[in-house]
A and B are shown apart, each in its own frame.
Chain A
Amino acid sequence: MSEQIHSLPADAMVLSDAEIAEIDAEIAHAPYRAAVAIDALKIIQAHRRWVSDECLEALAAYLEMPPAELEGIATFYNLIFRRPVGENVILVCNSVTCWIKGCEGIGAAVSQHLGIEPGETTADGRFTLLPITCLGACDRAPVMMVGEQKFEDVTVERIPAILDHGEGATPG
């Protein structure tokens, strides 16, 4: 309502020039500004690893949409992070096929190796561990991802090598 003073973030220039430029490029071929919401969130995340409250509000203002609506979009997707994450996000699949093939042990092994529970980030900020429902490679279950790299037919034994050296990633 007009009486409400919409609280713009104190620093109105929260978004960087680079981010704005990338977002503008998306807007250029969208029917209306808010249509690029998902891409814009991904752009911000690519630059900052996660989307803070300040970024979300600044982006909502930039896309001329209510922050609540953008928050609805941001929180709908589990790979848009609304909390800080480490340099590498580890996604361990816990969906049906991987479960049948013993993913519980995989998750536990990651936890043990890094000393963090699901949802936590290592003290050095290198890893965040998150569960995920299906990575789309069920035929090679159990599956996990570290950052952009995918690991298939994972065994508990392989975990230290995967985490320490990124060994055995599926190419492509």
Chain B
Amino acid sequence: MPVIKVDGKDYEVAEGGNLLESCLGLGLDLPYFCWHPAMGSIGACRQCAVVQYQNEEDTRGRIVMACMTPVTDGAIFDLSGERASGFRQTVVESLMVDHPHDCPVCAEGGECHLQDMTVMTGHRDRHYRGTKKTYRNQYLGPLIHHEMNRCITCYRCTRFYRDYAGGTDLAALAAHDHVYFGRHREGTLESPFAGNLVEVCPTGVFTDKSLVHDYTRKWDLQSAPSVCTSCGVGCNTLPGERYGRLKRIHNRYNPAVNGYFLCDRGRFGGTHVNAESRIDFPAQRDSEGRFQALTDEACARALRDRLQGKRLAGIGSPRAGAEANLLLQRLVGAENYASGMADDEHALMQRALAHLVNSTAHNPSLREIESADAVLLLGEDLTHTAARTALALRQAVRNEAHRLAEELRLAPWQDAAIRNLAQDRRSPLHVVCAGSTDLDDIAAGHYRLVAADQARLASDIAAIIRGEARSDGAAARIAADLLAAERPLVLSGPGAGSAALLDGAAAIAEALVAAGKAAMLSFTAAECNSMGQALLCRDSHIALAALASTDAEVLIILENDLLRRLPMASVEALRARIPTWIGIDCLENDTLARCDLVLPAAAFTETEATYINQEGRAQRAFPTHPPAEARRPAWRWLLDLARAAGDRTLSGIGHFDDIGVTLAGEDPLLQGIASAAPDHSFRSRGLKIPRQPHRYSGRTAMRADVSVHEPRQTDDADSALAFSMEGSATTDRPGALLSYVWSPGWNSNQSLHKFQSEIGGALRGEGSGLRLLDSLAVAAATPAPLPEAFSRREQEWLLQARHHLFGSDELSRLGSGIEALTGRAAIYLHPEDASRLGLEAGDGAVIAGAALEVRLDPSQVPGSAGFSTGYPETLALRSGEWVNIDVASDWQRQPELIGSDRGAAS
């Protein structure tokens, strides 16, 4: 390892890095703007200047940019001397010439990298007396607020948005001293990763719109390590709360999963917890069918009356934590417990699980997915089903660029040089999907096939790789690309609804391993704990459809809207069959409306829970704040239910960690869940870990309208975290307990490097969840029959689900700002099919009773029809069904809004 001298001291640093990341890794404070740990260096901002000396005799040295300077053995640098620090101070001063100094009204204030760097360089006195530029801001949609005056032209935004995330509608406009970062016209930013601009921009140009309108400074936010519950990827998040409201969600760094970035569903969808439709009190339906709120005692009595001595059945939930599901499973018995996924999805997830466990191909983390040098994506419009994974694939296709760079001995952080070198050369990505996808722009090939043909293609590819078949078509091209790679990745999922497709994906991966490749196999999962439910039910389970033929007297439904899982008629039949329904959930829905007793669940920001992501990684989320009113974590309600039912086996459970300890026994799954994070007895330097920064203000004032006495902070007996600013917030606390990132002088999220063992590496306190599948045994799946090839029918259309990042997920669609982006549920038709039906874009079509907006899409396979899945209007539609399509009478076309109208409306 090279040894460099900085300010007269020798340091050993990692080979191949640049000086800036080496210095930050050593804990030295060196200011910067344009460098980003995930995006490398371009040397644009001149903020990271240091003086480099040729040798010991050199007394003059020369100014170099640390981010562009490789560390070499024996190199001598001056970081803190007058010349270097004076230069950096001048750089900040020149940036501030046009900065509006509007920190008091800026949503970035208090966590602003520009503030931090200004203070760090020591720039204090303003000398500039001229006028400042004033820009016109743009309406950029309901999620992101724009305030161009604050820009320091570091180019991080366009580098992230365009280079890293593949967006096309944000650009650097104009030149000289009036460069402008925006769209060519006002309008919603199109990239599903646009929200990351909030964290990537080191100033207050791009801020979180819902936070701007419901504002709290970072130092007044209470936060806790959490996990995104909006899809199966399991990105790590930091929700921030005040006054009992979720104010915003920030990224929480996890090197193995989301790294530095989230998708916009995760970032903005969480505010559904603030919705008006939250349930606050337990309630019971009276004789007239109306719900009446219950006191604690009345609720306990009602539970006893309804549960004692009764035969129970339970429906769990892929969007509830593992612990609550486990308790319900134990309470009702595994044979009376349904996973809560739709029966077909449940079967697909069991199959995916069996393949992941039994395949000789590696089941990769998201980080490892980025290392793939050839990718086959089967049946998933990934940007809409697992957005963060799609962003990882955008990095994977750059491995060809990194290979080229290596040939020229260009360091991987030389971002501009490498992009220039590679231009459009990419590692191959082949996308097989029912319509166009949002990864087509970087795909070497895309193949539009309905699910049955996708499965047939997959099986052909596997046969070619095994050497059992030949072809000169698509299958051969794909096989050749996979075989030419070293670390090929096959990625599929339940999104297309095809068991044979999952088998095909697994068979390809297996064949690649047999061909000597370090192949990877990965499957997406629809919800935050879908994989957890597949695991929990791996040995025993009752199908939803079978529940109606049990003799259960009470049905307990955990955080699940059955209308999303079962046809309406089946729900009604089940309701008629089982006399008592008890529902536990956080927001009103059509299932709760059918229950006799409703129990208000804490939302994901209010409860501790372990979620198991698509990779089989158990990750613990902690409550950000205590639940208000009579809301309680689902796991607590379930303990109450157990008590009311007279169940003794669960009576030993007092707090959260007991669930794992008491129930795990020899089960490696449950043991894994229990050890996903340090337990409640963990202490850092003998203290609990605070959720509130030490500058948290207004503890008493906040509720002075109620009482002027300082309230006692709520105890958290269930975890090592405290609802308080007191405690030990060291930078080496376990990653699973990272409640916020802050370090002296580093108020923004850039302080993260103080928590890392090396830039972009593990957290100093370790802990990024626990991979469970590596140590489990699951029976292999019986191969599914290969479906017949698709052939169109005269009067019927084959339905194919289309997933929408904003809209297909049950809860995130209610997030603030997202509601405006979900749009109407739509049916997608090939233009020729549409004209056959006499339909035009924007018309209404009726499918199985649902009236949907018609969209024309030349990529839709003729004879098939895509539909927006997961929308309230489309719950009755199932992928793979043949349907009639009729013209909707009395259909109101959507009025066309232009950007500025929307701006006026927001």
Which A residues are within 8 Å of any B CB, using their own CB? 1-4, 53, 56-57, 66-72, 75-78
A71-B190 in contact given A1-B438, A2-B436, A53-B185 (Cβ < 8 Å): no
Are the C-beta atoms of A1 and B437 separated by less than 8 Å?
no
Q: Find A71's partner among B184, B191, B383, B857 (CB 8 Å cutoff).
A: B184
A75-B174 in contact given A1-B192, A66-B169, A69-B168 (Cβ < 8 Å): yes
A3-B185 in contact given A71-B173, A75-B174 (Cβ < 8 Å): no
Q: List 5 A-B contacts (CB under 8 A).
A: A1-B190, A68-B170, A69-B171, A75-B180, A76-B175
Contact with A along B416-438 (1 / 0, CB 8 A): 00000000000000000000111
Q: Find A68's partner among B169, B436, B857 (CB 8 Å cutoff).
A: B169
Q: Find B190's partner among A4, A53, A72 (CB 8 Å cutoff).
A: A4
A2 to B332, CA, bound (A): 45
Residue of B nearest to A74 (CB): B173
Chain A residue contacts of B175, Cβ below 8 A: 75-78
B875 interface contact, C-beta 8 A = no
Question: Interface centre among B170, B188, B190, by most A CB within 10 Å?
Answer: B190
Chain A residue contacts of B183, Cβ below 8 A: 68
Contact with A along B146-190 (1 / 0, CB 8 A): 000000000000000000000011111111000010011100101
Residue of B nearest to A76 (CB): B175
B388 interface contact, C-beta 8 A = no
B804 interface contact, C-beta 8 A = yes
A56 to B173, CA, bound (A): 14
Contact with A along B188-221 (1 / 0, CB 8 A): 1011100000000000000000000000000000
Q: How far is the CB of B554 from chain A (nearest CB, A)?
A: 43
A98 to B211, CA, bound (A): 51
Per CB-CB distance, the 8 closest pairs between chain A and chain B, nearest first, are A66-B168, A71-B184, A68-B171, A72-B171, A75-B174, A67-B184, A68-B184, A75-B173
Chain B residue contacts of A76, Cβ below 8 A: 173-175
Chain A residue contacts of B383, Cβ below 8 A: 1
Q: How far is the CB of A119 from chain B (nearest CB, A)?
A: 13
Total count of chain B residues near the partner, CB < 8 A: 23
Chain B residue contacts of A4, Cβ below 8 A: 188, 190
Chain B residue contacts of A66, Cβ below 8 A: 168-169, 171
Are the C-beta atoms of B437 and A72 separated by less than 8 Å?
no
Chain B residue contacts of A72, Cβ below 8 A: 171-173
Question: Interface centre among B171, B188, B191, B192, by most A CB within 10 Å?
Answer: B171
Chain B residue contacts of A56, Cβ below 8 A: 184
Q: How far is the CB of A33 from chain B (nearest CB, A)?
A: 14
A2-B438 in contact given A66-B169, A69-B171 (Cβ < 8 Å): yes
Beyond A2-B437, A67-B185, 10 extra complex contacts between A and B, CB < 8 Å: A1-B191, A2-B438, A56-B184, A66-B168, A68-B169, A68-B171, A71-B173, A71-B184, A75-B180, A76-B173
Q: How far is the CB of B159 from chain A (nearest CB, A)?
A: 14
Residue of A nearest to B383 (CB): A1
A4 to B168, CA, bound (A): 12
Q: How far is the CB of A134 from chain B (nearest CB, A)?
A: 13
Are the C-beta atoms of B168 and A3 separated by less than 8 Å?
no
Question: Interface centre among B172, B436, B857, by most A CB within 10 Å?
Answer: B172
Residue of A nearest to B821 (CB): A3
A71 to B185, CA, bound (A): 10
Are the C-beta atoms of B804 and A68 separated by less than 8 Å?
no
Chain A residue contacts of B172, Cβ below 8 A: 72
Chain B residue contacts of A53, Cβ below 8 A: 185
Q: How far is the CB of A94 from chain B (nearest CB, A)?
A: 13
Chain A residue contacts of B171, Cβ below 8 A: 66, 68-69, 71-72
A1 to B263, CA, bound (A): 14
Residue of A nearest to B381 (CB): A2
Chain B residue contacts of A71, Cβ below 8 A: 171, 173, 184
A13 to B46, CA, bound (A): 46
Residue of A nearest to B804 (CB): A3
Residue of A nearest to B170 (CB): A68
Q: How far is the CB of A75 from chain B (nearest CB, A)?
A: 4
Residue of A nearest to B174 (CB): A75
A66 to B804, CA, bound (A): 23
A2 to B856, CA, bound (A): 11
A32 to B190, CA, bound (A): 25
Residue of A nearest to B859 (CB): A2
Are the C-beta atoms of A68 and B168 separated by less than 8 Å?
yes
A56 to B185, CA, bound (A): 11
Contact with A along B816-834 (1 / 0, CB 8 A): 0000000100000000000
- Residues in B707-738 with C-beta less than 8 Å from chain A: none
Q: How far is the CB of B791 from chain A (nearest CB, A)?
A: 26
Chain B residue contacts of A68, Cβ below 8 A: 168-171, 173, 183-184
Chain B residue contacts of A3, Cβ below 8 A: 804, 823
Q: How far is the CB of A71 from chain B (nearest CB, A)?
A: 4
Question: Interface centre among B170, B174, B436, B857, by most A CB within 10 Å?
Answer: B174
Chain B residue contacts of A67, Cβ below 8 A: 169, 184-185
Chain B residue contacts of A2, Cβ below 8 A: 436-438, 857
- Residues in B377-423 with C-beta less than 8 Å from chain A: 383
Question: Interface centre among B168, B180, B192, B436, by most A CB within 10 Å?
Answer: B168
Residue of A nearest to B438 (CB): A1
A3 to B853, CA, bound (A): 13
A44 to B172, CA, bound (A): 22
A45 to B804, CA, bound (A): 41
Chain A residue contacts of B438, Cβ below 8 A: 1-2
Chain A residue contacts of B437, Cβ below 8 A: 2
- Residues in B84-138 with C-beta less than 8 Å from chain A: none
Chain A residue contacts of B169, Cβ below 8 A: 66-68
Residue of B nearest to A78 (CB): B175
Chain B residue contacts of A69, Cβ below 8 A: 168, 171
- Residues in B681-722 with C-beta less than 8 Å from chain A: none
Chain B residue contacts of A78, Cβ below 8 A: 175
A140 to B383, CA, bound (A): 60
Contact with A along B647-691 (1 / 0, CB 8 A): 000000000000000000000000000000000000000000000
Q: How far is the CB of A16 from chain B (nearest CB, A)?
A: 22
A69 to B184, CA, bound (A): 8
A57 to B169, CA, bound (A): 12
Residue of B nearest to A65 (CB): B168
A105 to B701, CA, bound (A): 63
Chain A residue contacts of B173, Cβ below 8 A: 68, 71-72, 75-76
Contact with A along B787-817 (1 / 0, CB 8 A): 0000000000000000010000000000000
A4 to B174, CA, bound (A): 25
Chain A residue contacts of B436, Cβ below 8 A: 2
A56 to B168, CA, bound (A): 15
Q: How far is the CB of A41 from chain B (nearest CB, A)?
A: 14
A73 to B726, CA, bound (A): 53
Chain B residue contacts of A1, Cβ below 8 A: 190-192, 383, 438
A4 to B185, CA, bound (A): 14
A2 to B438, CA, bound (A): 6
Q: How far is the CB of B869 from chain A (nearest CB, A)?
A: 14
Q: How far is the CB of A56 from chain B (nearest CB, A)?
A: 7
Chain B residue contacts of A75, Cβ below 8 A: 173-175, 180
A71 to B173, CA, bound (A): 7
Q: How far is the CB of A170 from chain B (nearest CB, A)?
A: 28
A67 to B857, CA, bound (A): 22
A71 to B187, CA, bound (A): 15
Q: How far is the CB of A123 from chain B (nearest CB, A)?
A: 26
Chain A residue contacts of B192, Cβ below 8 A: 1
Question: Interface centre among A53, A71, A77, by most B CB within 10 Å?
Answer: A71
A69 to B383, CA, bound (A): 23
Chain A residue contacts of B184, Cβ below 8 A: 56-57, 67-68, 70-71
Q: How far is the CB of B354 from chain A (nearest CB, A)?
A: 33
Q: How far is the CB of A121 from chain B (nearest CB, A)?
A: 20
A76 to B172, CA, bound (A): 9
A31 to B427, CA, bound (A): 22
A68 to B167, CA, bound (A): 10
A70 to B171, CA, bound (A): 9
A77 to B176, CA, bound (A): 10
